[in-house]
């Protein structure tokens, strides 16, 4: 009985310790950001592996999500004779919700897990310790550029997702199902507000980018330096980021659109 | 060499991301139809504006020429005060135009339709000649302009929003009245 309570307390303390380590790490990473502008090549490299390599999956998913929304929306709206509103439905859903959220989920799976695995493996093979021996701060040299790259990439990827999704909806709605082209765009333009919808969507994607990259970088840096530890950390990155994205999405939506 | 290719790809990536944002802003949102500086404000009082919203379109002959800027309740006149922003290029609307609230489609959104009035202007000299006939002549005064809606002017003639419940209520009460008359006979 006593030992059970003890292990419970141990777990709780461990949880708070990890939480604290995570916040100290993010503070250190943010402190390391200004120094990065002296070495932009570091950021470019990371932008390539985090952002550019994620374009394909994001764009293809965006197109298919847009096409599915076009189909589903058409089938529902046509019952009410309101298929002209298809553009509004597709655009609002993508810009407000699906764009930031699905992109963030894909980003966590594609880029976040790669970041964790890379940093975790660096730790397991003692590259990080070697850097410290050479008086190079691994947080500034390894973590800070990766964090910044993820933070920059996410909003851009989300914007691509939404834009391509709108085109996907256009392709299905106007191209295949025969919704009037003018109505598709004009109703969309009449209902989607630049600040209310698009800017809030961008803010969402920025927040998700921050959180996903933070979790990925922290899990990698905090991984147990064995092959099993790295694999666990990678799994945790995907699970925790997905939960954080969906939970935060609810909070942000409640704050923005009520 | 590899860094060069990476740099080019990153450049393309950022450009594509910004292009996507730009497309969302211009093509998807209402930015292209919205410029707040160049318009002028016109007010109108309505007894009932139910369903009209801020940013609802203001149209004339079916063409959107402005948007509803604000809606408030005037507690002295006990009616709704609607401020519309008309785009600056449409500066020739006669000041006796009338405003009505219409519905686009059966369940669609409400919008304000403006109908041009005759335009009270001072450009015509109206005189009675000797035979008692009314004579209208172009004024010789070249400076005269037909009076138009300007910043801050009020549209006097308004027609309220049609509320379905009210219509049905009127119809039923009329129907009941007819019924009573019939039985009285």
Contact list in B for residue A91 (CB cut-off 8 A) is 28
Same domain, B152 and B63: yes
User: What pLDDT is stored for residue B26 in this prediction?
Assistant: 79
User: What pLDDT is stored for residue B3 in this prediction?
Assistant: 77
Contact list in A for residue B9 (CB cut-off 8 A) is 48, 52
Same domain, B68 and B157: yes
Same domain, B152 and B112: yes
Same domain, B25 and B44: no
- pLDDT of B76 strictly over 70: yes
In a domain, B132, yes or no: no
Same domain, B95 and B73: yes
Sign of the C-alpha dihedral computed for residues A115, A234, A139 and A158 taken in this order = positive
Same domain, B23 and B82: no
Distance CA A35, CA A28 (A): 12
Which residue, among B153, B50, B64, B169, has the nearest Cα to B109 in the 3D structure?
B50
Domain count, chain B: 2
Same domain, B105 and B57: yes
- What pairing do the DSSP bridges indicate for beta strands B110-115 and B157-159? unpaired
Same domain, B61 and B108: yes
User: What pLDDT is stored for residue B138 in this prediction?
Assistant: 64
In a domain, B87, yes or no: yes
Nearest to B24 among A48, A162, A185 (CB): A162
In a domain, B134, yes or no: no
In a domain, B103, yes or no: yes
- pLDDT of A90 strictly over 70: yes
Same domain, B6 and B69: no
Q: How far is B9 from chain A (nearest CA, A)?
A: 7
Q: Where are the alpha helices (DSSP H) in B34-163?
A: none
Residue of A138 and B32 predicted with greater confidence: A138
Cβ–Cβ gap B28/A160 under 8 Å: no
- pLDDT of B162 strictly over 80: no
User: What pLDDT is stored for residue B70 in this prediction?
Assistant: 86
Cβ–Cβ gap B29/A190 under 8 Å: no
Distance CA B9, CA B30 (A): 32
In a domain, B184, yes or no: no
Cβ–Cβ gap A156/B17 under 8 Å: yes
Same domain, B82 and B153: yes
Residue of B94 and A152 predicted with greater confidence: A152
Residue A156: C-alpha distances to residues A12, A91, A184 (Å): 38, 17, 25
Distance CA A19, CA A9 (A): 15
ipTM: 0.76
Q: How many CB atoms lie within 10 A of CB B158?
A: 19
Contact list in B for residue A185 (CB cut-off 8 A) is 27
In a domain, B106, yes or no: yes
Cβ–Cβ gap A48/B30 under 8 Å: no
Q: Which of A82-86, A123-127, B64-68, B144-148 has the lowest mean pLDDT?
A: B144-148
CA A93 to chain centre: 17
Most confidently predicted of A19-28, B65-74, B118-127, B147-156: A19-28
Q: Residue B94 has what DSSP assignment?
A: B
Contact list in A for residue B4 (CB cut-off 8 A) is none
Sheet holding B57-60, edge to edge: B153-155, B40-46, B79-86, B63-74, B57-60, B110-115, B98-103, B157-159
- pLDDT of B33 strictly over 60: no
Domain that holds residue B109: 40-121+147-162
User: What pLDDT is stored for residue B125 in this prediction?
Assistant: 61
User: Taking the model in full, what pTM does it have?
Assistant: 0.72
A182 touches A170 (CB < 8 A): no
Which residue in B has a C-alpha nearest to residue A90's C-alpha? Answer: B28
Which residue, among A201, A183, A228, A11, has the nearest Cα to A86 in the 3D structure?
A183
In a domain, B51, yes or no: yes
Task: Work out the average pLDDT over A206-223.
Answer: 94
In a domain, B177, yes or no: no
Which residue, among A227, A12, A14, has the nearest Cα to A121 in the 3D structure?
A227
User: What pLDDT is stored for residue B59 in this prediction?
Assistant: 87
Q: Which of A221-230, B32-41, B63-72 has the lowest mean pLDDT?
A: B32-41
Same domain, B104 and B154: yes
Residues of A with CB under 8 A from a CB of B: 41, 44-45, 47-48, 51-52, 55, 91, 95, 152-153, 155-157, 159-160, 162-164, 166, 185, 188-194, 197-198, 202
Mean pLDDT of chain A: 91
Same domain, B97 and B46: yes
């Amino acid at each position: 009985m006593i030992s059970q309570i003890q292990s419970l307390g141990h777990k709780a303390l461990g949880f708070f310790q990890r939480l604290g380590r995570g916040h100290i790490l993010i503070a250190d990473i943010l402190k390391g950001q200004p120094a990065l502008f002296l070495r932009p090549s570091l950021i470019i490299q990371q932008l390539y592996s985090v952002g550019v390599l994620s374009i394909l999956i994001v764009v293809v998913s965006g197109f298919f999500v847009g096409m599915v929304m076009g189909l589903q929306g058409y089938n529902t709206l046509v019952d009410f004779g309101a298929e002209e509103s298809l553009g509004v439905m597709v655009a609002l859903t993508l810009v407000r919700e699906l764009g930031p959220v699905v992109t963030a989920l894909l980003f966590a799976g594609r880029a976040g897990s790669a970041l964790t695995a890379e940093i975790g493996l660096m730790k397991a093979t003692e590259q990080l310790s070697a850097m410290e021996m050479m008086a190079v701060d691994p947080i500034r040299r390894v973590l800070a550029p990766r964090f910044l790259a993820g933070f920059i990439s996410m909003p851009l990827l989300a914007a691509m997702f939404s834009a391509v999704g709108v085109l996907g909806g256009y392709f299905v709605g106007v191209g295949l199902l025969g919704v009037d082209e003018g109505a598709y765009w004009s109703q969309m333009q009449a209902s989607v507000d630049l600040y209310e919808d698009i800017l809030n969507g961008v803010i969402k994607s920025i927040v998700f980018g921050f959180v996903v990259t933070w979790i990925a970088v922290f899990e990698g840096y905090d991984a147990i330096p064995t092959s099993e530890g790295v694999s666990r950390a990678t799994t945790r990155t995907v699970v925790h980021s997905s939960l954080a994205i969906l939970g935060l999405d609810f909070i942000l939506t409640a704050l923005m659109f009520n | 060499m590899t860094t060069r290719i990476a740099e080019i790809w990153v450049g393309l990536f950022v450009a594509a991301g910004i292009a996507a944002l730009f497309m969302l802003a211009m093509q998807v949102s209402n930015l292209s139809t919205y410029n707040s500086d160049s318009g002028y404000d016109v007010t109108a009082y309505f007894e009932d504006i139910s369903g009209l919203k801020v940013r609802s379109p203001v149209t004339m002959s079916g063409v959107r020429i402005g948007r509803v800027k604000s809606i408030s309740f005037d507690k002295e006149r006990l009616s709704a005060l609607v401020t519309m922003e008309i785009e600056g290029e449409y500066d020739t609307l006669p000041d006796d135009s009338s405003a009505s609230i219409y519905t686009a489609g059966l369940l669609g959104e409400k919008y304000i339709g403006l109908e041009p009035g005759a335009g009270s202007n001072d450009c015509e000299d109206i005189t009675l000649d000797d035979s008692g006939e009314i004579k209208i002549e172009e004024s010789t005064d070249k400076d005269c302009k037909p009076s138009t809606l300007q910043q801050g002017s009020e549209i006097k003639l308004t027609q309220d929003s049609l509320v379905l419940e009210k219509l049905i209520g009127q119809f039923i009460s009329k129907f009941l009245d007819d019924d009573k008359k019939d039985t009285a006979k």
